[in-house]
Amino acid sequence: MHPSLRLANVHKPMIRFLGKRQWPSHPEPQHAHPFAPPELQQKFSEFVKKFQGGSTSSASSSAAKSKSSGGQVFEEFWQAPARFWKRELQEWEVDLVQSGGASRHG
């Protein structure tokens, strides 16, 4: 075996990368998706303003607004009514899920 002959056929990949990767120092400004409907593109700045800030006082004030508007916001599951709590599944429910949703009544 001649190892020097094998070195002559070194695989050379066809893809070539130009330069080193350079990541931007700051993120680009948020914008609506280019294919979003025009009415959503126009209201996108309002949507972004609603979620900027991120302080707990703004979150609690938004929760208070939603409570006054009729909807309730729960921080933890035990604050919600018991019907929304997690519960143990019964054996027939487990069988139904494992069967892929097929009818139990053959």
pTM of the predicted protein model = 0.30
Query: Could you tell me which of 96, 97, 28 has the C-alpha nearest to residue 105?
Result: 96
Q: What is the pLDDT of residue 55?
A: 46
pLDDT tens readout for residues 41-86:
999 988 888 877 654 444 455 545 544 556 788 888 778 888 888 7
Q: What is the pLDDT of residue 18?
A: 84
How high does pLDDT run on average in the chain? 77
* CA separation for the pair 96, 102 (Å, rounded): 7
Domain spans of the chain?
Answer: 56-100
Can you tell me whether residue 66 is helix, strand or coil? Answer: helix
Q: What is the pLDDT of residue 35?
A: 94
Q: Which of 25-39, 54-68, 89-103 has the lowest mean pLDDT?
A: 54-68
The length of the chain is 106
